[in-house]
Amino acid sequence: MLATLPTATTEQTVFSVTNLVILIVVAAVFYPLQKKLRETVSRRRRERWEEEERDAQRGQGERQRDQGDGPPAPDDLA
């Protein structure tokens, strides 16, 4: 019968020192990687937002100049 197998008759513990060590090693490896990845992604996202904002402001300024509502260009002053 299967109940006579040594692994089936021994009591399984939920917590073991080996599992704790494995968890600590995995956390020690992956936490710095995850932190670095989040910082890189956040920096790139902020740079992209700043670039999009500059592009939007440039586009708005060009539209105002095209409509004549904006300040005169330096060439128009002379």
Query: What does the domain layout of the chain look like in residue ranges?
Result: 32-61
Taking only the tens place, the pLDDT of each residue in 18-62 is 999 999 999 999 999 999 999 999 999 999 999 999 999 988 877
pTM: 0.51
Per the CB < 8 A criterion, the answer to whether 52 and 58 are in contact is: no
Burial class (CB in 10 A: 0-12, 13-18, 19+), 65: middle
